[in-house]
Chain A
C-alpha cells in the first residue's frame, strides 16, 4: 500500500477500528498502516482515561519483525490534578517503534460501571463516537449488544452501514470511509462522518419512547424540565423582598418589563460564574457554589451561580406576572437537536423567553451576565430547538432566529493627520449586537483602567508602528448600550517612493479570512453571524501632494457586499479626502455549491481591508 492522493490516501490508512460493547467492559481495537512520517500522528501520544486496562499493542515492520508494547515501561500513569487530597489520574502511552512505514495495532479495555450503564461513568449520560477520522478508514466496526438497555442512535450521510446480527450482538460495519476534512467555516455536525450515540434511558419516559414525538417531548418537559424549573425551590421572605424591590415601577409591556427586570436583577445579584476581577476577590468559593434552587440564599447573599441566576430570573418573571417561555437549545458544535430523536440529553443550554409565540419571543440568557436581552449566542442561532410554553408546559420545535446584518454592526470613524514623521490619528468605534457582545466578552470582567490598558496593548500589538496615547473602552458592562472604543495615537511613517496612507490603522478584518482553502468542499458553509462593518477615514492632503489613482470597489454576491472608495470630500475643505469601507455579510448558512462565491466574497474583503491610499507629489 502506498500514498495515493487521488484515492485520498495520505500519511496513514486506518485498516480497522472497532468498538465492542461487552457487559463488563468496552473494548477498543485500532490497526493502522502508517505510510509516511506525517501519518505517525494517527497513533502518537494516545491518551487513555484512567479506567483503561489491558493496553496491548505491537508495531509490525515490513520485514515481519515486530515490537510488542504491553509492558509498563511504555506507559506512564501520572496525576493530572491533585487537589484537596484527591488525585485524578490518566495513562499516557507513546507507542514504541512507530516509523514512517509500519503497521501499528493497539487494543485496550475500559471497564463498565454496571450501576451506571453500558459505558464508563466518566462518559456521562450521553456519549457519541465519530467513526473514521482524518485518515481514510478501511473498516470501522461497532459491535453492540442487541439487548442494550440504553438508547442508541446511528447517524450517517453518504454511506450506509452494513448491519448484521451475530449471537447477542448487532454489528454495524462501514467500509472505506474517506479521510475527514475540517474546512474553514464548517460545523462538526455538518460533516459527512458516521456517528454512533448512546444515551441513558429515563424510566419516567420509557412508556413515551414509542409514542409520537409531540407526546414524548410533552412528557419529557412535564416530568423533567417542569420539576427542574418549578419544584424544590427555596424561596420565602428574602426572595419576597427581592421581588418587591425589583418589581416596583416596571414598565407594563411584558417584553420591556422582562428586559428591565433582567437589568435590575443583575445589578442586585451577582452571577458568581461571571464575576469581575474585583468582585472575584471578595467572594469565597462557598458563595460561588451556592445550591442552584436556593433562591432565598441567593437573594440574601446577593450571589448566585449561573444556573441559579436562570432559576431566579424565571421565578422573578412569574412574580411580576409574566409566564415565561423556555427554549432548550443545542450548541451547533456540540450537538444538533433532532425533534424525532427521543433523547432529552440533546440540549446544552436553556434560554428564557417572553412573547406570544416562539418566533417573536425575545430570548434571554440569564446565565450570561453583561449580555443584552435578545442577544442569542451565534452558536444557537439558526439551529433547531424546543420551545416550551410554561403556561401549559406545551412544546414546539422551532428554529432559533438568526440575527440580521443590521443587528450586528461595527462603525469606525477615523480622523488622520498626515505629518512628516508619521500619521496622527484618532478613531471612534461603535459596536452593536453580537459584535458588541464580542467586545464585552473581552473587556467586561476587567476594571475600567485595565479595559483601556488591554485595548491599547491589543492594538499596539497588532501593528508595531502604532503608538497610542489614548485608549478608552466605554459601556463594556452596560449591555443596553453600544460598546464604544476611542483611541488616538500615531502610526510611524517610513520613507518610500510614494506617500502611502493606511486609512484604517489597527482595524481588524470584518470577517476571518483563513490562510488556505481546500480546492473542493462538500460540507455546507456556516458563517457564525451576519454583520455590517463600516469604516470612514478622513484626512487632509499634505502640502505638495495629490490623491493618486485609487481603485474603488463596489462588489457583491449572495454572501454580501464589499465597497471601498477614496475620493475628495464632496463638501468641506478642497484638500480633504474621505475613504469609505463597507462590508455586509448577509448570509448565515449556504450549501457547498456556493463555495466559489464564498471564496470570491472573502477575496474582495481581503483586498479591501489591505487597500492603502497612495499620494503622489503634485507637479
Chain B
C-alpha cells in the first residue's frame, strides 16, 4: 500500500511531468502526444509575418505492407493565424474510390486559445464526388472538420489511408503549400507481419528540386527526411514553368519483385513493358466503317481522318483503374468517345489492318514536362499517344529516329492536328515509347510541332462619324482556338468565342459570321470571315482617329507588381505568329503616327508598317503587322532580368498598339 502522502506526491509529480497548464496558459498536452512538443516549441516564438496559418508539423509516414498495399499516415498540426486560416479546420483526403483506397483512421483536435479542446465527430466527415465538368471518375474526396476553430487555434489531424494503387506502390510527396511549414518530415518503412516477408523489397526515396527551396536538416537514406522552416508557395505569379518541374518533392517507390498485379518501377523498361502489355491486349477492333485495308499510308490517313471526325475526348472512368488502363478499341468505337489512352489504343488497333505496328507512347503535356533524370514513376506522365513503327520514312514531320528504329508519333486526342504533326503542347517534350522489349525514349523534334499561325485580313470603310463597316478574315494554321471552338461549340459557339476572346464589339455593333471552312479538313488552314459594323471602329478624338485593335494581339499583362520581387523563374512557351494586313478607307486625309517600326525583344519579333495614300475623297490606309513569338526562359538566378525583359517586350508592343493605330487628320 502506498502511504497517503507518497500518493499525493506521486500525483503531483505526474501532473508536473505531463506539463499541466498554469492559469492563463494553454495545456498543450491535451493535443495528441505527437503534436504536443511541436505546439510547445512555438509557444514563445513570433509568428511568421503575413501568413494565414503556420504549419507546425507536417509528417507523412509511408509503409509498404506487401502485395501492393501502401499505408499512409499523415500527421498535421497547424496554428491558425487569421480568419482565412480558419480553412485549416478542414482536412481533405482524396481517394480513388472502390476498393483501391480506404480511410482507416481520421481524427481531429482543436485546441482553442482559451485552452478548451474540441474533437472531431463523425457528423463532420463528408465524402464527396470528385468529378469535374469534363471528367467522370470513381474518385472521391473525404473532408473532415473540427468544430469551433478560431484565430489562435491549434488544429491537429491524424489520418491513416490504405491504398492499393493500380500502378503499384509508388507515391509522390510535395513539401510546399499555402502556408509556411516549421517542420516537415517523411518516414518510409516496410511493414512486415508474421506472414509477410518483405526482405526482397527495395525502398527508393528520390528528392527532386530541393534547391533553392529546401535545406534538409536530417536524413537517413531510404528511410527519412526532415526539413525545417519551409517557405509558403509564392502567390499570384504567372508565366512560370509548371510547378511539377519547380517545386520540391520526394518520389517514393517500393520495388517488390513478388508483386505481379501492378507494373514494376525497377526501370523504365519494366514500366514500359507493362504498358505495352496493357494497351496491346486491348488494341483489337474491326476495321473502321468504310476503312478497308489498303497500303500503310492510306491506312494511317483514313484511320486518322475517321477518328478525328467521329471520336470525342471524354474522361469517363467507371472503375478505379481506368485512369491507367485503356478501354478496348472495339468498345471505344462503340461508345464514340474515350480518353487519350483509349484513343491511342483504338488507333493502334486500326494500324494492324494496314500491316503496321503501333505502340503506346507515354508523354506529359500542359502540366510541365518529363525531365531527363526523372526517377522511374508512372506519375511522370499525364498523356498517351501512339507510335507507329516505320520501316522507312513517310516524310512526315512527327517521325523520330531512335536506336531501336523509326517511329511516327500520332496524338489522336488533338482533333485539330493533322497526321504527321503534334500539337504545341508537345513542344520540347519527351515520350517513352513502350514496346514488348522495354522503353525507348524519344525527344519530340521541333519540326514535329504544328506551329500556330494566324493570318488576319481586315478591309473596311469608315464613315464621317468614324463608324467602320467591312470584313475581317482569319486563316488559322495550328491551334489558336478558332477551329477547336467551331468543332466543339458549333457556329454560334464560334461567334460567341470570337466576341468573348478576340473582338471587343460595343453593344450597338453588328457582326455576321459567314460560313466557315470545314473544321475537320486538317489539310487546310481553318478559315472564318465576318462582316461587321463597329460604331467607333475608327474613333475620332480631336485631330486624331484611332483604329480598333481587332486582329492584333492583346497586350501581355503586367507580370510583376512594382516593388514586389519575383519568386519563380519565368517561362514562355509560345511560338506562334500573326500576319495582319488591313486596308481602311476613310473620308479624311490621314497621316499615320507610326509609319514603320521593327521590334525585336527577348519574347517576340514584330514588324509594323502603316502607309496612307491621300485621295480626293479621303485616304486609303494600308497597314501590316507581322509578329513571331519566341519561347523564353529565365531561371531562378535570372528571374529579375526576366521581369525586365518582359517589361521591355510589353512596352515595345504597347507602343505599336497605342501609336501605330493612331492617325492624324490633316487639314
Contact = CB atoms under 8 A, between A and B. Distances in A.
B289 interface: yes
A102 B193 CA distance: 58
A450 B84 contact: yes
A12 to B, nearest CB: 9
Interface residues of B, number: 68
B507 A76 contact: no
Interface stretch (A14-22, A113-121, A208-216, A459-467): A459-467
Contacts of B318: 73, 75-76
B123 A282 contact: no
Contacts of B61: none
B124 to A, nearest CB: 8
A78 B138 CA distance: 7
A277 B83 contact: yes
B655 A496 contact: yes
A495 interface: yes
B510 A519 contact: yes
Nearest to B555: A494
A422 interface: yes
B96 to A, nearest CB: 12
A385 B304 CA distance: 61
Given A63-B289, A73-B318, A96 B83 contact: no
Interface stretch (A125-133, A402-410, A431-439, A599-607): A599-607
B651 interface: yes
A74 B148 CA distance: 44
B317 to A, nearest CB: 9
B82 A67 contact: no
Contacts of A573: none
B550 interface: no
Contact of A92 (B136, B496, B542): B136
Nearest to B335: A96
Given A73-B318, A277-B83, A517 B138 contact: no
B662 A82 contact: no
B127 A40 contact: no
Given A83-B123, A84-B123, A40 B312 contact: yes
B562 A460 contact: no
A515 interface: yes
B316 A98 contact: no
B129 interface: yes
Nearest to B659: A497
A141 B364 CA distance: 50
Contact of A38 (B493, B543, B650, B662): B493
A465 B562 CA distance: 7
B196 interface: no
A449 interface: yes
Contacts of B558: 464-465, 492
B128 interface: yes
A607 B548 CA distance: 13
B296 to A, nearest CB: 26
A560 interface: no
B148 A496 contact: no
B190 to A, nearest CB: 33
B513 to A, nearest CB: 9
A554 interface: no
Contact of B507 (A80, A100, A602): A602
Interface in B113-142: 122-123, 125-129, 131, 136, 138, 140
B490 A39 contact: yes
B82 A450 contact: yes
Given A82-B126, A607-B536, A76 B138 contact: yes
Contacts of A467: 561-563
A89 to B, nearest CB: 10
B82 A607 contact: no
A80 B138 CA distance: 11
Contact of B562 (A5, A447, A492, A598): A492
B336 A97 contact: yes
A278 interface: yes
Contacts of A82: 126-127
A45 interface: yes
Contact of A494 (B128, B131, B509, B654): B654
A67 B505 CA distance: 44
Contacts of B335: 67, 74, 94, 96-97
Interface string B142-186: 000001111101000000000000000000000000000000000
Interface string A436-469: 0000000000110110000000001000110100
B127 A79 contact: yes
Given A45-B136, A282-B148, A37 B535 contact: no
Contacts of A63: 289
A36 interface: yes
A618 interface: no
Given A497-B593, A551-B541, A94 B496 contact: no
A76 B543 CA distance: 66
B290 to A, nearest CB: 9
B490 A38 contact: yes
Contacts of B437: none
A85 interface: yes
B499 interface: yes
A333 to B, nearest CB: 22
A500 B485 CA distance: 36
B17 to A, nearest CB: 33
B650 A494 contact: yes
Interface string A259-291: 000000000000000000110011111000000
Contacts of B129: 78-81
Contacts of A550: 541
Nearest to A281: B150
A83 B507 CA distance: 48
B492 interface: yes
Interface in B316-341: 316, 318, 334-337
In the complex, which of the residues B151, B335, B500 has the most CB atoms of chain A within 10 Å of its own CB atom? B335
Nearest to A80: B129
Contacts of A596: 508
Interface in B297-355: 309-310, 312, 314, 316, 318, 334-337
B658 interface: yes
Interface string A15-43: 00000000000000000000011111000
B82 A449 contact: yes
A83 B487 contact: no
A11 interface: yes
A99 interface: yes
A94 B488 CA distance: 17
B508 A10 contact: no
B368 interface: no
A513 interface: yes
B654 A97 contact: no
Given A38-B492, A98-B337, A516-B505, A80 B128 contact: yes
B334 A67 contact: yes
B651 A38 contact: no
A618 B536 CA distance: 28
A228 to B, nearest CB: 29
A490 interface: yes
B565 interface: no
A101 B314 CA distance: 18
B125 A83 contact: yes
A52 B409 CA distance: 44
B97 interface: yes
A36 B309 CA distance: 10
15 contacts: A10-B490, A11-B492, A82-B126, A83-B125, A85-B122, A98-B336, A277-B86, A285-B123, A422-B562, A450-B84, A492-B558, A515-B499, A519-B510, A599-B507, A600-B507
Interface of A: 3, 5, 10-11, 36-40, 45, 59, 63, 65, 67, 73-76, 78-85, 92, 94, 96-100, 277-278, 281-285, 421-422, 446-447, 449-450, 460, 464-465, 467, 490, 492, 494-497, 513-517, 519, 548-551, 596, 598-600, 602-603, 606-607, 614
State the 4 A-B residue pairs at the shortest beta-carbon distance, nearest first: A38-B490, A549-B542, A96-B335, A464-B558
